[in-house]
Amino acid sequence: MKNMKIDDTFVKDVLKRSEQKTTEQLHKILDKSDKLEGLNYEEVGSLLMNKNKEIEDRIFKIAGKIKKEIYGDRVVMFAPLYISDYCVNKCTYCGFKHDNEFTRRKLTQEEIKEEVKILENMGHKRLALEAGEDPINCSLDYVLECIDTIYEMKFKNGAIRRINVNIASTTVENYKRLQEKEIGTYILFQETYHKESYEEVHVAGPKSNYDYHLTAFDRAMEAGIEDVGGGVLFGFYDYKYEVLSLMLHNKHLEDKYGVGFHTISVPRLCDAKGSSKDDYKYLLTDDEFIRLVAILRLAVPHTGLILSTREDENIRKQLINKGISQVSGGSAVTVGGYLKREEGGNQFEVTDGRSNEEIIKWIIEEDMVPSFCTACYRQGRTGDRFMELAKSGDIKNVCLPNSLLTLKEYSIDYAGEQLQQKANDIIERKIKNIEDEGILKTTKDYIERLEKGERDLFL
């Protein structure tokens, strides 16, 4: 089977055909998504084209329902770790672009340890490792060494248990080497699937090669990486085209490798050094953004949806109830930024600047369970085995208990008295939602063992 390609005419045709749907037809589509069956291209297109308020309300309602049914009341937590801001590319929108003049740096292994200590102290167990592209200053060997350093660190209360990696598109050989390090998800944003727009904003450097970037996951999966995370940086082209293209990409991976995206990220363009988002023509309104995330939830019910601190509290609040399953908290988007939350050198401007503890408290107040779980990947439930679990609906019986156990761990090890109380309250309430008696008993037993000092207990 061939590598990923976007058929521009096809995408535009689907969108055109999707325009003419009646309210009755749209309700039929929603009946289907209400049964968690996912959506085909034309159905996704039709919902994207919808302007009827009644339909929109139903989209939100179903998105909330899917989130609850498949993921339960959980929100998975992670934090980015920027290891190097050297970059040979000229992505017009990015603070790390080659033309920006500032003193660039990459972390030494000692500095990595400092950053990871701080992240661990915030309670994080799952990181997204981030770097600009520079084969000399930030070689793959360096990236692999950083991964080793992080996984080797053991703390009183545990360790970083999963490292997702967001580095430039590379060769099958290099992906094999990454895979050998037991990374979590390999994340790469397509930025935009629209070729002309892609070429307008990626003016020089290896990333300016649209096809090479678009086929990165083919190479990653060929190399044996099973969990890949896609994304679009919304603002470069019509969001409807982008969402449909994400669906095409997902289907391509499913057909060719048996499993689609493990996660989809939905970043929106922010201001950055040398770039104002207002210079871009396709910025989304908040309403459009919320709608598109909800439609993604309907379209790919079993794929994790990630929202970063690029969004403010209000948007994040709405979206954790409409489909988002993973959020970052307390993020620094500068190399060495946890040790020194410095001015300048940011890749982009963070909008939600709350601390991780504040985010955890907020999630609990939203009646959801912040989860630091990394069990699936450590139990070998990756790729299609994870999707089987998700599709069987059993994810709730595994993930809910694990989220409660990791929140318990967090509360004992990192939370102040008040937050500890809040965590205990929500654990007590949500544990009642575990349906299987055996699992309920094990979860209660594990909680007691955590209280007595054991750590890292999971199902």
Binds ligand SAM by CB under 6 A, chosen from 93, 142, 234, 280: 93
272 touching ligand SAM, by CB under 6 A? yes
Q: Which partner in ligand SAM, ligand SF4, none is near 189 (CB below 5 to 8 A by kind)?
A: ligand SAM
269 touching ligand SAM, by CB under 6 A? yes
**Distance in angstroms (rounded) separating the CA atoms of residues 163 and 199:** 30
Q: Which partner in ligand SAM, ligand SF4, none is near 167 (CB below 5 to 8 A by kind)?
A: ligand SAM
Q: Name which of residues 323 to 362 contact ligand SAM (CB under 6 A).
A: 347-348
Integer-rounded Cα Rg, in Å, for the chain is 21
Q: Which partner in ligand SAM, ligand SF4, none is near 233 (CB below 5 to 8 A by kind)?
A: ligand SAM
Binds ligand SAM by CB under 6 A, chosen from 90, 144, 153, 189: 189
133 touching ligand SAM, by CB under 6 A? yes
Token pair listed for 73:
């009341």
125, 123, 124, 143: which is closest to 133 by C-alpha?
Answer: 143
**Distance in angstroms (rounded) separating the CA atoms of residues 457 and 106:** 35
Q: Which partner in ligand SF4, ligand SAM, none is near 166 (CB below 5 to 8 A by kind)?
A: ligand SAM
**Distance in angstroms (rounded) separating the CA atoms of residues 67 and 83:** 33
Binds ligand SF4 by CB under 6 A, chosen from 21, 207, 297, 361: 207
Cβ pair 276, 235 in contact under 8 A? no
Nearest approach in angstroms of CB 103 to ligand SF4 is: 16
Site string for ligand SF4, 117-156 (x = CB under 6 A): ---------------xx-----------------------
Q: Which residues pair with 264 in a beta bridge?
A: 230, 305
CB nearer ligand SAM, residue 75 or residue 270 = 270
Exposed (0-12), middle (13-18) or buried (19+): which is 287, by Cβ within 10 Å? exposed
Q: 371-399: b or e for each residue (b if 16 or more CB lie within 10 Å)?
A: bbbbbbbeeebbbeebbebbeeeebbbbb
**Distance in angstroms (rounded) separating the CA atoms of residues 385 and 417:** 39
Site string for ligand SAM, 157-176 (x = CB under 6 A): ---------xxx--------
Site string for ligand SF4, 79-98 (x = CB under 6 A): --------x-x-x--x-xx-
Q: Which partner in ligand SF4, ligand SAM, none is near 97 (CB below 5 to 8 A by kind)?
A: ligand SF4
Q: Which residues of this protein are in contact with ligand SF4, per CB under 6 A?
A: 87, 89, 91, 94, 96-97, 132-133, 168, 207
